[in-house]
Structure 1
Amino acid sequence: MTDLIEVKTADLAGEALGWAVGKAEGLELELAEPGYNGVPWRVFARYRATVTERTERYNPWEDWALGGPLIEKHEITIQPSAWDWQRKCVLWRAQQEDENRYFEHVSPLVAAMRAVTHTRLGDTVQVPKELMP
């Protein structure tokens, strides 16, 4: 296993955010080393059943099929926070019901996954150092 570093939940993005969300959800996670053509470190979740086992890419910050059910499970509220001159939303706010803390990002899914992480793990989390820039 790799060395872990402490990161503020509000600063999580990309693979580090995926790792934190997976840990918050109690998943068994693995790191895939960088591949050819500049493919960076990636997070995978291992799912085990009675007879089968499978490993799948875990990227809830960019895949609504993974992140959407977590938003519902944790009762995360997402709403627009800022608009451009054409009244297009350019910043989203997410927070869990009954929490005073909210997270903002240009992507509603990133904001929501930070809120999910904060709900379970708090203001700071431990992530593999390879996942941080």
Structure 2
Amino acid sequence: MIEVKTAELIGPALDWAVAQIEGVKTIMMAPRKGEPKVPFALFGSLALTIGGEDQSSYAPSTCWHCGGPLIEAYKLDLGAPLENKNGPWNAGTEWGHPQGYKGETPLIAACRAIVAAKLGDVVSVPAELA
């Protein structure tokens, strides 16, 4: 495990952190001998990969199917980019971090805000994901 600033979480590391909060069981598996470990999430009775952009993966930072409901569940405030519509998105929780967390997309900003509110400004993630 390594420590990463929540504001810098991205991709599978961010998805993994959200899975921990949401109670989605995760395991790290090496698919073939000698290859790096690959994260998997066990959601209900389904085995899903962490990351990706389809419904066969648990990827709240890139997939609206996974991440969209979290915005409502955590009552996040989302702010669109202001400067020529090219800046970062901003997301904040109703119970903390009034300045919010930034991200290239609304889902990334939302996931970072959730992780910050529940786990703090620095989190431990598997080294294979960072």
Q: Which residue of 2 aligns with 1:46?
A: 42
TM superposition shift of 1:89: 4.5
1:76-115 correspondence runs (5 A): 76-84=76-84, 88-99=85-96, 100-115=98-113
Instruction: Check 1:42–1:66 CA distance in 2 against 1; reply closer, same or farther (3 A cut).
Output: farther
Contact kept, 8 Å, 1:15 with 1:41, in 2: the verdict is: no
Structure 2 segments unaligned to the other structure (5+ residues)? 49-56
TM superposition shift of 1:34: 7.5
Structure 1 segments unaligned to the other structure (5+ residues)? none
Q: Percent identity?
A: 39
- Measured in 1, the distance between the counterparts of 2:113 and 2:68 equals 13
Q: Which residue of 2 aligns with 1:55?
A: 47
Q: Which residue of 2 aligns with 1:14?
A: 11
- Measured in 2, the distance between the counterparts of 1:101 and 1:26 equals 27
Output the TM-score relative to the length of structure 1. 0.78
Instruction: Give the 3-state SS of the residue equivalent to 2:113 in structure 1.
Output: helix
Task: After superposing the two structures, state which structure 1 stretch, 75-84 or 108-117, moved more.
Answer: 75-84
Aligned residues: 118
Instruction: Check 1:92–1:54 CA distance in 2 against 1; reply closer, same or farther (3 A cut).
Output: same
Instruction: Check 1:46–1:94 CA distance in 2 against 1; reply closer, same or farther (3 A cut).
Output: same
Instruction: Check 1:47–1:80 CA distance in 2 against 1; reply closer, same or farther (3 A cut).
Output: closer
